[in-house]
Amino acid sequence: MSADTPFTNEAIDLEHLPKYEEILLKQPHADYWKIICINLLIFFGLLGLGLSALLLFVDEFKLNAVWIVPVYLALIIIFFFLFRLSFKKRGYAVRTHDVLYKSGIIAESTTIVPLNRIQHIELNEGIFSRMYKLGSLQLFTAGGQSGHIHISGIPIGEAKSIRDLLLKKLDLLENPITETEV
Partner 1 sequence: MDNDFSKPQRESAFGIIIMGAHTLVKIVKASFFLFILAFVKMSGTSFIYLITGVLAILFISFIFAYLWYLKFTFFLDKEKQEFVVNKGIFNRDQVIIQLDKIQQVNINQNILQKIIGVYGLKIDTAGAHGEEVSIRAIDETTAYNLQAHLLNRKAIGGEQPEAVRENNLIEETPFLKISGLTLLKVGLTSNYGQSLALLAAFFYTVIYEGRQLLDAFKINRDEIQSTVTGMLTIVTVFILIACLLIVLLIINLVRTFYKYFELQIMQHKDALLLSSGLIAKKNTLISPNKVQVTKYSQNYFQKKMNMLNMSLRQAHFGQNKKGHEMQGNTLEIPGCNVTERDELLKMILSKAPLKGKTFIPDWRFLNLPIFFRLVLPVSIFLILAFNIPAVKPFIGAAFAYFITGVLMIYISYRRHRISVNQDFIIKTSGIWDISNEIIQPNKIQAITTFQYPWHKGVDVGHLSLHTAAGQIHFKYGNYTEIKQLVNYWLYQVEHDNKSWM
Interface residue list for partner 1 (CB under 8 A): 1-2, 12, 14, 17-21, 97-98, 104, 106-117, 141-144, 146-149, 173, 177, 181
DSSP 133: T
Choice between 84 and 117, CB closer to partner 1 = 117
Choice between 21 and 60, CB closer to partner 1 = 21
* Spatial contact of 121 and 94, defined as CB atoms under 8 Å apart: no
* Spatial contact of 153 and 29, defined as CB atoms under 8 Å apart: yes
Compute the half-sphere exposure of residue 6: CA atoms within 13 Å on the CB side of its CA.
2
Nearest to 158 by CA among 57, 67, 32, 51: 32
The DSSP bridge pattern shows strands 118-124 and 134-141 to be antiparallel
- Minimum CB separation from partner 1 for residue 149, in Å? 8
Choice between 21 and 171, CB closer to partner 1 = 21
* Spatial contact of 154 and 25, defined as CB atoms under 8 Å apart: no
- Minimum CB separation from partner 1 for residue 138, in Å? 13
- The string over 92-106, giving b where at least 16 C-beta atoms fall within 10 Å of a residue's C-beta and e elsewhere, is bbbeeebbbbbbeee
* Spatial contact of 101 and 31, defined as CB atoms under 8 Å apart: no
- Minimum CB separation from partner 1 for residue 128, in Å? 29
- Minimum CB separation from partner 1 for residue 68, in Å? 30
Choice between 17 and 66, CB closer to partner 1 = 17
Choice between 90 and 148, CB closer to partner 1 = 148
- Minimum CB separation from partner 1 for residue 54, in Å? 35
What residue type is assigned to position 88 of the chain? K
- Minimum CB separation from partner 1 for residue 151, in Å? 14
Choice between 34 and 84, CB closer to partner 1 = 84
